[in-house]
Amino acid sequence: MKSFIEKCCDQCWHSPSTPCELFVACSVEGPLCHNDDKCKEKYKNLNEALRYVSTDIPVIFIGMGTCGLASGADKVKSAIEEELVNQNINALIVPTGCVGYCAREPIVDIKLPGEDRISYCEIQPKDVKDLIKTTIIDKKVYKKKLLGSYGETKDGIPNIDEIPFFKRQHKVVLKNCGVINPNSIDEYIAAGGFKALDKALRILTPEKVIEEIKASGLRGRGGGGFPTGIKWELAHKKKSDTKYIICNADEGDPGAFMDRSVLESDPYRLIEGMIIGAYAIGASYGYIYCRAEYPLAIERLEDAILKCREYGLLGKNILDSDFDFDLKIKKGAGAFVCGEETALIASIEGKRGMPRPRPPYPADSGLWGKPTVINNVETFANVPSVINMGSAWFASTGTKTSKGTKVFALSGKVVNSGLVEVPMGITLREVVFDIGGGIPDDKKFKAVQIGGPSGGCLPDSVLDTEVDYESLKEVGAMMGSGGFVVMDEDTCMVDVAKFFLTFIQNESCGKCVPCREGTKRMLEIIERIPVRYGSNGDKTEQLQRFKGIIHLQRLAKVIQDTSLCGLGQSAPNPVLSGLRYFRDEYEEHLFERKCGAKVCKEILTYEIDPDVCNGCGVCLRKCSAEAIIGEKKQPHQIIQVKCTKCGMCFESCRFDAIKVN
Amino acid sequence: MDGNIFQQYPKNDRSNLIAMLQDIQEVHGYLPEKEIRKVADHLGMSLSGVYGVATFYNQFRLTPLGKNIIRVCRGTACHVKNSANILMALENELGICAGQTTRDKLFTLETVACIGACSIAPVININDDYYGRVTVKEIPKILNKYKKQEQAVSAE
């Protein structure tokens, strides 16, 4: 036997056309329908092979998610293949997804027969020779790049869960990410996959599934935080000949990448969650609406769906339960607003992705006017664990109102960027400093931006806030989809507000006036702040600017209260949280014409320090405004009237001769 | 190939509009007017309806592309790590603005909201290659790689 769909002997009969309800249970505990020691042996061996428990050759796991590939994992893979041929070693190479420690990619794990699986990080092609020699030939540990081991802590090799980055994490959704091969349905089953589906179809009624989800307190992980069980119940109670279930994988938030990682590293988990959801509400068809910008995720999902059909886990009469369900991928075409459920439905119907007023909620009347449930990737990925381990187990982690864990995409000015899954109720400080390892280059922490364009920037004073839906709202951010961008003293808050407003303004669909016009005006006001008005400047401009500032807060409130959908309602958040926590920075820009972080170029002056400049001429060549003059080997100088403040000279100077004030 | 796109999708089923446009863009690199007209006929929609959808989504382009597509990530994490300067450096180096194609049709410069590789910010992506932790100083070197490739091809 090479895979579970193969029959152990003639007595086994599962196939998509003749489904057997015991297929999943049998795969792990098999065989269940007949007693045969040979078949038992076959199943046991297959499971062990798939879990790499007993291997007779070394196994090499390489993290091949987008972050791994971007760090050069494919080059490492070819280098390893080449080295294995050169050394004449027979080993198995298994591509996995992302283990979450993106900052240390490419990550390579090596498992020798009878030994623990040991993880090595930051492996470059030039390290491969040493790595293979030390680990496989000499059977030692390659100390230089050691990360941790998947076994017990011993001989100075820490267990991987004890290193600071993983220590505070609690993995539910990301359990398999980076551990199993995302292209292999058999590995997923061997790791306990589809067990929840098996339990739901064989033992639980749809009502019971919904009850479990309700009791678990699982809330929408897309950011809204609507209780998932209640949403499912609404759709379940609605009578209709067809119902739909949709997975929102249109992760448009700049600075968030957890959905991508789940799709690339554990696609079957999402599919399992969706099938359970479909069973609970009685949906016959599902869509995964995924960003076209995630080609790898789409490829793996396509593959996963085909495999599920092959195994009879999608299609007609799934596991002989009389339940039919199939799904399809719809590629999003790059519109942030399509993350809003009604806009997403419009987009699947082939229209412009514009939201419509709710009610009726999609659970009443959604896709093609039929009851539709839409959940985020992470919400669906939580479902198998809830069904498997029970609602009480799930509800035991978290705070009073928010249960379970949350995956955050930790990025920005932080040492350990990557994906972290933490129990709700952890403080922001722990995430930034304990897991994230603080700020690189000994810079000072300034803010953390949570929840993408609809979230807010939180300063040091509120870092002891516990993470849950309500407490984040109280301090002026929101859960959002889980982007977690850390900013240090070199980040200017006015610039950040400008950045988000530019994004929102570009992505506003234009259907409702408050959002279309309001964000535009708000952006104009913010853009006028870091501008230098010379003495001969336009007086009306200056007047306009102050008028704008006076009205900024009120404008923000109006946009919040009157916009049609979540995009507009939350658009002013970055500005409001900026004014709430970083008012001094805004005032510094306004009254003193200074940008402490040296970001707002318009109000900076660039000067060349004649004592340091050796006249190499690089800046002169780089300057597109021809504002730099000077003889070769003599100190140069900048003509201030010509200078466009592009900062290219500062970037290109190798001697730090350019001073910014 | 081209004819296949129209055969794949049933006539008058508007829900496939976006998928069709995506397929056409896959083949041509952009959406030629002729094809948009064909799509409108095929799906029984007005031309303005198709145009409306094509201009709503960021993915669709109505002008041809250059040979190498440079995508500069402008996500939050990249922005915090100075991707604005990277973009500016590319614009200066190529002499075009974001969204344009160089006159020799060698490069198209685009910005993307977020590539999703925030952990190695700032990121640019050229065709299918990712470049992480890019600095302004590296830009000419990266571009030269592609220019050299082009020279090698034309020399043959």
pLDDT class of B3 with cuts at 50, 70, 90: low
Residues A260 and A66: their CA atoms lie apart, in Å, by 8
Residue A327 has pLDDT above 60, yes or no: yes
In angstroms, the separation between the Cα of residue B59 and the nearest Cα of chain A is 5
Q: What torsion do the CA atoms of A128, A130, A132, A136 make, to the nearest 10 degrees?
A: -160
Residues A176 and A189: their CA atoms lie apart, in Å, by 11
- The strand ranges marked E within A26-132 are 59-63, 92-96, 108-111, 117-120
Residue A647: alpha-carbon gap to chain centroid: 32
In angstroms, the separation between the Cα of residue B63 and the nearest Cα of chain A is 17
Residue B2 has pLDDT above 60, yes or no: no
Q: Parallel, antiparallel, or unpaired: how do β-strands A418-423 and A405-412 relate? A: antiparallel
- List the single residue in B with minimal CA-CA distance to A296: B128
The 10s digit of each residue's pLDDT in A78-110 is 999 999 999 999 999 999 998 999 889 899 999
What is the count of residue pairs from A and B with beta carbons less than 8 Å apart? 152
Residue A646 has pLDDT above 80, yes or no: no
Q: Are A162 and A26 in contact (CB under 8 A)?
A: no
Give the least confident one: A102-116, A337-351, A462-476, A639-653: A639-653
Please identify among residues 384-413 of chain A the ones whose CB lies closer than 8 Å to any CB of chain B.
Answer: 409-413
The CATH class for the domain spanning A494-592 reads mainly alpha
Contacts of A67 in chain B (CB under 8 A): 117, 119-120
DSSP string of A298-317, one letter each residue:
HHHHHHHHHHHHHTTSSBSS
DSSP state of A361: P
Report the CATH fold assignment for A605-660: Alpha-Beta Plaits (3.30.70)
Q: Which residues pair with A659 in a beta bridge?
A: A607
Residue B115 has pLDDT above 90, yes or no: no
Q: Which residues pair with A418 in a beta bridge?
A: A410
Report the CATH fold assignment for A59-167: Glutaredoxin (3.40.30)
User: Out of B57, B77, B85, whose CB is closest to A412?
Assistant: B77
For residue A388, give both structure tokens. 């498997």
Q: Which residues pair with A557 in a beta bridge?
A: none
> Does residue B97 have a known ligand-binding role?
no
- Report the share of chain A in percent with pLDDT over 90: 65
Contact B76 A293 (CB under 8 A): no
Cα dihedral sign for A506, A507, A512, A515? negative
Phi, psi of A596, deg, nearest 5: -60, -30
- Report the share of chain A in percent with pLDDT over 70: 99
The 10s digit of each residue's pLDDT in A570-618 is 999 999 999 999 999 999 998 888 888 888 888 888 889 988 898 888 8
Superfamily of domain B2-56 in the CATH hierarchy: NADH-quinone oxidoreductase subunit E (1.10.10.1590)
User: Out of A103, A409, A624, whose CB is closest to B92?
Assistant: A624
Give the least confident one: A254-258, A465-469, B69-73: A254-258
pLDDT class of A533 with cuts at 50, 70, 90: confident
Q: Is any Cβ of chain B less than 8 angstroms from the Cβ of A651? A: yes
Q: Across residues A522-551, what is the average pLDDT?
A: 83
Residues A497 and A168: their CA atoms lie apart, in Å, by 31
Q: What are the residue ranges spanned by the domains of chain B?
A: 2-56, 68-155
Residues A5 and A311: their CA atoms lie apart, in Å, by 6
Phi, psi of A422, deg, nearest 5: -120, 150
Let me know how many helices (H) and strands (E) chain B has, helices first.
7, 4
Superfamily of domain A185-395 in the CATH hierarchy: NADH-ubiquinone oxidoreductase 51kDa subunit (3.40.50.11540)
pLDDT class of B25 with cuts at 50, 70, 90: very high
Please identify among residues 250-289 of chain A the ones whose CB lies closer than 8 Å to any CB of chain B.
Answer: 251-257, 260
- The strand ranges marked E within A370-517 are 372-376, 405-412, 418-423, 445-450, 456-459, 483-488
Q: Are B41 and B34 in contact (CB under 8 A)?
A: no
Residue A535 has pLDDT above 80, yes or no: no
Q: Are A610 and A635 in contact (CB under 8 A)?
A: yes
Helix H or strand E segment including A235: helix A228-237
Please identify among residues 479-518 of chain A the ones whose CB lies closer than 8 Å to any CB of chain B.
Answer: 483, 485, 487, 491, 496, 499-500, 503, 507, 509
Contacts of A350 in chain B (CB under 8 A): 14-18, 53
- Report the share of chain B in percent with pLDDT over 70: 98
CATH architecture of A405-491: Roll (3.10)
Q: Is any Cβ of chain A less than 8 angstroms from the Cβ of B50? A: no
Q: Are A391 and A272 in contact (CB under 8 A)?
A: no
Contact B57 A255 (CB under 8 A): no
Q: What torsion do the CA atoms of A450, A453, A454, A455 make, to the nearest 10 degrees?
A: 20
pLDDT class of A537 with cuts at 50, 70, 90: low
Contact A412 B81 (CB under 8 A): yes
Q: Across residues A310-326, what is the average pLDDT?
A: 94
> Does residue B118 have a known ligand-binding role?
yes
Amino acid at A68: G
| A98 closest CA partner among A66, A57, A75, A122 | A66
Contact A417 B130 (CB under 8 A): no
The 10s digit of each residue's pLDDT in A453-464 is 888 999 999 999
The confidence score (pLDDT) of residue A509 equals: 92
Q: Are A212 and A403 in contact (CB under 8 A)?
A: no
Q: Are B67 and B107 in contact (CB under 8 A)?
A: yes
Q: Parallel, antiparallel, or unpaired: how do β-strands B129-131 and B124-126 relate? A: antiparallel
Q: Across residues A125-154, what is the average pLDDT?
A: 90
The 10s digit of each residue's pLDDT in A276-303 is 999 999 999 999 999 888 889 999 999 9
Residues A449 and A457: their CA atoms lie apart, in Å, by 4
The 10s digit of each residue's pLDDT in A487-502 is 999 899 999 999 999 9
Give the least confident one: A206-210, B114-118, B135-139, B151-155: B114-118
Q: Across residues A114-123, what is the average pLDDT?
A: 91
**Exposure of B114 by Cβ count < 10 A (0-12 exposed, 13-18 middle, 19+ buried)?**
buried
Residue A97: alpha-carbon gap to chain centroid: 13
Contacts of A651 in chain B (CB under 8 A): 85, 89, 135-137
Helix residue ranges, H only, A106-152: 128-132
The 10s digit of each residue's pLDDT in A246-263 is 999 998 888 888 899 999
Residues B44 and B14: their CA atoms lie apart, in Å, by 8
In angstroms, the separation between the Cα of residue B129 and the nearest Cα of chain A is 7
For residue A543, give both structure tokens. 């007047």
Residue A2 has pLDDT above 90, yes or no: no
Q: What are the residue ranges spanned by the domains of chain A?
A: 10-51, 59-167, 185-395, 405-491, 494-592, 605-660
The confidence score (pLDDT) of residue B120 equals: 83
Residue A324 has pLDDT above 80, yes or no: yes
| A290 closest CA partner among A328, A339, A329, A335 | A329
The 10s digit of each residue's pLDDT in A375-389 is 999 999 999 999 999
Please identify among residues 344-373 of chain A the ones whose CB lies closer than 8 Å to any CB of chain B.
Answer: 347-353
Cα A410-A411-A412 angle, rounded to 5 deg? 145
In angstroms, the separation between the Cα of residue A497 and the nearest Cα of chain B is 11
Give the least confident one: A168-177, A341-350, A425-434, A531-540: A531-540
A440 Cβ neighbours under 8 A, 6+ residues apart: A413, A414, A415
Task: Output the pTM of the full model.
Answer: 0.92
- List the single residue in B with minimal CA-CA distance to A487: B80
- List the B68-73 sheet strands across, edge first: B107-112, B68-73, B124-126, B129-131
CATH architecture of B68-155: 3-Layer(aba) Sandwich (3.40)
Residue A534 has pLDDT above 70, yes or no: no
Amino acid at A510: G
Is the omega angle on the peptide bond into residue A459 within 30 degrees of 0, that is, cis?
A: no
pLDDT class of A172 with cuts at 50, 70, 90: very high
For residue A268, give both structure tokens. 């079957």
Q: Across residues B72-76, what is the average pLDDT?
A: 89
